[in-house]
Amino acid sequence: MISVVIVDDHGMVREGLRQFLTEDPEIAVVGEASDGASGVQLVQSLRPAVVLMDVMMPVLDGISATASLRHCCPESRVIILSNHVERSTVIHAVKAGAVGYLLKDALAEELCHAIKEVVQGNVHFAPQASIFLLHEVREPNLPENLTEREADVLRLLAQGRSNKDIARHLHIVEDTVKTHVRHILSKLGVQSRTQAALYATRLNLVPIDEQEQSLQSSQAR
């Protein structure tokens, strides 16, 4: 049996989902919560295989609740259920740890299929949500809090340049470059120049054929 917890602030929605899911002999609804905070506590207690998570809820929204579950209950797979498919919501949901995103008007068969898919380690997204994710992969963006100068430093760092070379190229002093590098590592959430170089390569800040050279250079420092 696949254990499922439903987190939604509307009782009628929870009732409808429960009725849909009980028709599948492989799925068992083991708990329900009416807000994100209660949902997190319930999941911590029950450790279900799958969590069906609403987006807009009181106390704690679904995206924040999903992020919390990623840290405390990583084994519980979260599928976001929403009335709308908006790019920002989809992206934030995935970054928070969701492995599925469906509209609430999805057919019962699709919902059950999605639950079984994510339990097997796969993902399941509504078609429009998949399109948004595809565009995000094709058009990656730098973190919003990275300044233009820090982006320049990251690009040069990813090319394998030393702090001295970066300073010369940008016409700044080396100590300023070191400060920028510290800020970059902090903002990207990475621990080393090597990891920063990998991040920059993934964002296509350097040509793919320069990747090996970039990593070797960053590892040497």
CATH number at residue 168: 1.10.10.10
Q: What is the pLDDT of residues 168-216, one digit of tens each?
A: 999 999 999 999 999 998 888 777 777 787 777 666 665 544 444 443 4
Q: What are phi and psi of 164, to 5 degrees?
A: -65, -45
107 CB-near residues (< 8 Å, 6+ apart) = none
Question: 162 and 208 share a domain?
Answer: yes
Q: How far apart are CA 94 and CA 131, in angstroms?
A: 13
Evaluate whether residue 121 is within a structural domain: yes
Per-residue pLDDT of 96-123, as tens digits, reads 889 999 999 899 999 999 999 999 888 8
Q: Are residues 126 and 175 in the same domain?
A: no
**For the chain, how long is the longest CA-to-CA vector?**
68
Residues 106 and 168 placed together within one structural domain of the fold: no
Of the three residues 138, 164, 183, the one that is the final residue of a domain is 138
> Position of tokens 């920059």?
200
Domain tally, the chain: 2
Q: Does residue 134 sit in the same domain as residue 159?
A: no
Tens-place pLDDT, residues 15-48 = 999 999 999 999 999 999 999 999 999 999 999 9
Q: Do 23 and 130 sit in the same domain of this protein?
A: yes
Q: 214: which residues sit within 8 A by CB, 6+ positions away?
A: 158, 159, 160, 197, 200, 201, 206
Checking if the pLDDT of 219 tops 70, the result is no
- Residue 143 in domain: no
- Indicate if 115 and 92 belong to the same structural domain: yes
Strands (E), the chain: 2-7, 27-33, 50-54, 77-82, 100-103, 124-125
CATH of the domain at 7: 3.40.50.2300
| pLDDT of the residue at 171 | 94
Question: Which domain range does residue 81 map to?
Answer: 2-138
| Comparison of pLDDT for 217 and 57, the residue scoring more | 57
Residue in 95, 101, 89, 109 with CA at minimum distance from that of residue 130? 101
Q: Do 7 and 110 fall within a single domain?
A: yes
Which of 138, 168, 185 is the C-terminal boundary of a domain? 138
Q: What's the mean pLDDT in 147-164?
A: 86
User: Do residues 126 and 39 both lie within one domain?
Assistant: yes
